[in-house]
Chain A
């Protein structure tokens, strides 16, 4: 018998005597975990590159003179590892002893450390818990949310690495050397210093509670002793759709919020809004009871009376002036189910297509252009394409502020070497990390994209239709058009240097696939639809549509603005973008839902004020919107709304619009409802109630159902689940396979189209080619905007949002977010400011053809000369007072992003 050979096979290694196959690049720590062996760590985190500082993970390896750190040493064939050898155990204990006994030098005060990962290490190594002592220095509470207690810091740098490698900010530093070394926060400025985005990611990882937050440091009587299990739901702020876990406190209020660790969208991360800005749910001024207006005052009425009144007033007005004299407006914050019911109510019960949503104000240009050219109006790509992209084009959006989690993912991709091109008139946070920043003059996007197309075509050399892909319809004609565009002229129009244009094209041509993310900077223009068309041409040309890492990703603003459009809250489309003029849609609606679809397209929200002023619309139901703040030309909008005979406002709080209402219906808010939200990558995710709605506030879907029943409709939904089932029947192509049961099983939701219960959902549209007749190139030329070259209003104003706040600010301004340092005021380039003799902090008058505003001036060299920026959140100075009501004739989206203004002292 041959002797037994005990040396492991070439590709094998031993850990604690157990054999395993080595996989290249795997660390000892990862390999040990595979065997279920736990090696203690302090400074390690799976999502961060190994820090190697705490040395708790040392293991013994036969034949090696010194122990190896398991967290950063790759397991190699032939290694024989002992994870708990006496020698390494002694080292671990000595290390912990050092931490505990050198307090004088290191500044650590063991008695201040909060129970958590560090104390677990102590206990598992046979130490007793340090007796609790009051901290020698006061906890720094100067930030509205974040808390800093230096004496609990064990210098693991998990916060630092998380901030840099995940959040993409560079807030932390280390000062001094040896035992005197200390963590510093934004130099010495602290969390309030400006570099921190208050995302709270560092709080999540800190093992000792040195960095903590307001929600975790609550006074004793508000501690989370609620026995109810935490609830998994979806953030109600932006269109990213982060999944979160809401913990509640003793009183049943929101306690603290965590990200869902492995969520597909956010991998456990959240931004300041998602994690912290939840206080408004319990704001004292939430609407709690239905309120009826009498004269200038409101008085509470019972629900029965309220619904009956709404029903009867609508019926009266419809009877007198026809159903088209009634209109409804849906917000992008409501659930899919509520949006569906609202449009069904308008179409099936009232009998009008006068239904629209705030999507009109941001992305209807996308819906229009993309469905026309490509066959679907939604994002072709998904968020996971960000990490797969060959080149990232970020156009007219500032995701680090508007979609922070996506912004962080983009920044990390750029830091890992994916070429990033940022097109934005302003220098944004992301543009500092970009390979190339093209500061385009507002309103000239079409020219810029067209010329990029031309230069990419040239870079490709002889490009034929065949190369562009089979369905490159009408390619030749478009190519000839693109090649005829002169580069110098485009450079003059856009204000971008020729050299940069060429470089951008070169990068795009060299690094396929191209993923384009764009935002309201493209759509909120008079030529918004044209801008999207041009971007779609570029996407077709670069052949990324439907490919992993390529395609188009319009970034939708609100949490469910995508879903609200999907649900048919549009004057010309039924669910799933079925055109109402099509006979097929009518037949299907009649067959499945049993009513006749009104044939005439309804009014868009942009047309509404005029229609009201003309007397064509007499009653309006506004659900969750604040048009007095969001619509352009505030003065006219107000006049129109004051003229309405019957205004129903269904809201969580009293808004400017609500003050004009004849009846106020109190609605349940994001954490109080059951339903689904659809994010910007078409992902339908489950929303669950975590806290109770205040007073008598009710979920939107119940309110609508009750009004419908009061109008005599036979609606009997058992719950939102039932509604979703009906959506599936009415929209089998996209939602046929969506059910709550499936959403329960796959917590990351389903990306539509999902036609049947066995379908896994669709990550990318067009991956199997385009629908017949779609995928076509459309030559579209640049035209100057009416706001360009105006002698009387020489400066172009861009309006937009800031990280800390959300839209009109109704939610965030009811939270401590209002105390965050936000860049408010009118941002101006130093040159313009100097010309106008303005200095930082001066008050100035901004005037456009629409109206004027007094604002404080903020000088910023991140601004392109000749432009100004104003954030939209400040209610006392509504930026939209300046915006013209003249919209994009195709999408009816107003031009929020290039308003001609003049500034005077």
Chain B
């Protein structure tokens, strides 16, 4: 077996930037969006020549992007089917568009939750709110919201750590980024060994939705291996992608700097940004940012004339990969399949191409520049003892004042809802909240009094998830929300493990049985039995699923059914 320091050339993987032309997969995904599948041989050959990939790989990649492929050379409309948009009627919208013979590709969260519903037309222009609901393919452009206005954004912390640049309007170009101090952290980190960055991380106690991040970094750095990877991924979950979208569109350099710093800390030589292919704008901005940064020697070979090299590749992800499950992302990059992998080994030990791999959300990455530049005080000075630092919450259009808000960990949820967001839209009281996406926590109105601290929440069986907050109003179509739960799980399950793959279908057939029982005059015994069967199914999904996606989703779903049982099943009868 070959050992460390051998003279073997590192293998070149298909997803890497070939011939310095940028992401080969971005080229293919864009092509597929405009052309129907299967691609004719000539197109495959051309793409192969352009990207440097084998023809068979081009074919496989094209298949991977099938869901967004053009139909009869017409790019489909991308209609957001995230929770926020669903509640704002995007399910009906999609149906009516399809009735008008417009082909639609349903996407879980385009990142406009504050202005739901949202859709992208065939030229990838965004339409939100009424413009989306009244979308008219003939009026087209004029009506769209190119340069969509920024959502309401605020920080309840004196020293915001995630949003500082966005709060100032963003820094899309390298020039703007430099003027805001981006890359200074990297510059100073390059003067010191990577261990310093690792120590800073430990000292800061920086926390994600699972609690502190540093222990994983230590494992990754300590694992014996020839090389390592870091993956930054945008978007996990059914709603609340606003912050990811904005960071990529308006603060991409902080993301890149963070990726480099994480790599520096654990000793990785390659970073990958996993960005959903249906964020066309974000994809373009990030690509441009990588080009600019590489040209300025802030990425690539011998960064800033140091001995350290670090390369970033862009991976446009076709499917949502089980809500961003780390092993699923890794599998998508490696095999273009995107299926969860058993753990152990954890990705930090053996991830992408069996090398130690760090998978971090963008929100973590954008904090690293400041950490490297200014040290860890800003973290330790706010948040809770268990989880220092801050967190961004994204409140959807169901609140009176939707938007993005950065708060120190430990902030009370009720305060956020009632004071910052002003309660339900148009003053109507809320039935429930979904915190952190469908796999997060479903909270009835009496359950809002707790501190938003990941560690404390985990202890009491709650999940912070991706930090999105979706309001369920009294007027909400609860049956549609239940179908949304099921469609989401079925549509995002990687399909590998039986409980998660077939569970939603099982629930659908049980629910149908209920409905029959509810309509035909009920024999209470049958209803009890059906309900017990449903519970067995939830139980099997929760306990039996391979990855956290399948394990987490049944909880909120069961809670939802428990809360609204009668209203879901008696209305129609």
Residues of A that sit less than 8 Å from B by CB: 50-55, 58, 66-67, 69, 72-74, 87, 90-91, 94-95, 97-99, 101-102, 104-106, 155, 157, 173-181, 184, 187-188, 195, 390, 417-419, 432, 435-436, 503, 506-507, 510-511
Contact = CB atoms under 8 A, between A and B. Distances in A.
B501 A106 contact: yes
Nearest to A42: B498
B498 A95 contact: yes
Contacts of A50: 342
Given A52-B497, A94-B537, A179 B545 contact: no
B333 interface: no
B540 A181 contact: no
A877 B11 CA distance: 41
B6 A510 contact: yes
B401 interface: no
Contacts of A390: 1-2
A86 to B, nearest CB: 12
Contact of A175 (B66, B342, B539): B66
Given A52-B546, A177-B493, A417 B498 contact: no
B494 interface: yes
A87 B9 CA distance: 51
Contacts of B503: 98
Contacts of A53: 496-498, 546
A105 B8 contact: no
Contacts of A436: 9
A55 B8 contact: no
Contacts of B340: 52
A55 B546 contact: yes
Contacts of A51: 342, 496
A419 B8 contact: yes
Interface string B176-212: 0000000000000000000000000000000000000
B498 A503 contact: no
* Residue with the highest number of chain A CB atoms closer than 10 Å, among B6, B489, B543: B543
Contact of B540 (A95, A506, A510): A95
Nearest to A90: B536
Interface stretch (B247-255, B504-512, B514-522): B504-512
B225 to A, nearest CB: 11
B543 A178 contact: no
A69 B499 CA distance: 13
A435 B8 contact: yes
B235 to A, nearest CB: 16
Contacts of A157: 496
B226 to A, nearest CB: 9
Contacts of A73: 342, 344
Interface string B89-115: 000000000000000000000000000
Contacts of B495: 155, 174, 176-181
Given A101-B509, A178-B493, A511-B6, A173 B337 contact: yes
Which 7 pairs show the lowest CB-CB distances between chains A and B?
A181-B495, A52-B342, A178-B490, A72-B342, A105-B505, A102-B505, A94-B540
Given A55-B546, A179-B490, A74 B344 contact: yes
B493 to A, nearest CB: 4
Interface string B309-333: 0000000000100000000000000
A547 B296 CA distance: 52
A155 B60 contact: no
Nearest to B540: A94
Interface string B345-378: 0000000000000000000000000000000000
Contacts of B493: 177-179, 181
Interface residues of B, number: 51
Contact of B504 (A72, A95, A101, A178): A178
Contact of B506 (A101, A187, A510, A511): A101
Given A98-B498, A105-B505, A175-B66, 18 more contacts: A54-B498, A55-B499, A55-B546, A95-B498, A98-B505, A102-B502, A102-B509, A155-B495, A173-B336, A174-B337, A174-B495, A178-B491, A179-B505, A180-B495, A187-B60, A507-B7, A507-B8, A511-B2
Nearest to A67: B543
Nearest to B506: A98
B499 A98 contact: yes
Contacts, number: 153
Contact of B497 (A54, A99, A173): A54
Nearest to B59: A187
A507 B9 CA distance: 9
Contacts of B551: 66
Interface string B35-64: 000100000000000000010100110010
B422 interface: no
Interface in B524-573: 536-537, 539-540, 542-546, 551
A749 B497 CA distance: 42
Nearest to A104: B505
A503 B7 contact: yes
Nearest to A65: B543
B339 interface: yes
A87 B342 CA distance: 21
Contacts of B406: none
9 contacts: A52-B341, A54-B497, A55-B499, A94-B537, A94-B544, A99-B498, A102-B506, A106-B502, A177-B319
B492 interface: yes
A173 B498 contact: no
Contacts of B319: 177
Given A105-B505, A177-B319, A435-B9, A95 B499 contact: yes
Contacts of B38: 187-188
A66 B554 CA distance: 14
A177 B59 contact: no
Residue in A91, A184, A436 with the greatest tally of chain B CB atoms within 10 Å: A91
B49 to A, nearest CB: 11
Given A98-B503, A173-B63, A174-B337, A510 B7 contact: yes
A95 B543 CA distance: 12
B352 to A, nearest CB: 15
A157 B501 CA distance: 13
A175 B506 contact: no
Residue among A97, A178, A188 with the highest chain B CB neighbour number at 10 A: A178
B339 A174 contact: yes
B2 A510 contact: yes
A195 B56 contact: yes
Contacts of A98: 498-499, 502-503, 505-506, 537, 540
Interface string B1-45: 110001111010000000000000000000000000010000000
A350 to B, nearest CB: 55
A91 B498 CA distance: 11
Contacts of B504: 178-179
A809 B437 CA distance: 62
Contacts of A104: 505
Contacts of A101: 506, 509
A99 B544 CA distance: 14
B494 A177 contact: yes
A184 to B, nearest CB: 8
A530 B60 CA distance: 44
Nearest to B62: A187
B544 A58 contact: yes
A173 B66 CA distance: 13
B63 A155 contact: no
Nearest to B56: A195
A495 B344 CA distance: 47
Contact of B545 (A55, A155, A195): A55
Contacts of B59: 187
B554 to A, nearest CB: 12
A179 B509 CA distance: 13
Nearest to B486: A178
A181 B54 CA distance: 26
A66 B542 CA distance: 8
A72 B547 CA distance: 13
A195 B490 CA distance: 30
B502 A99 contact: yes
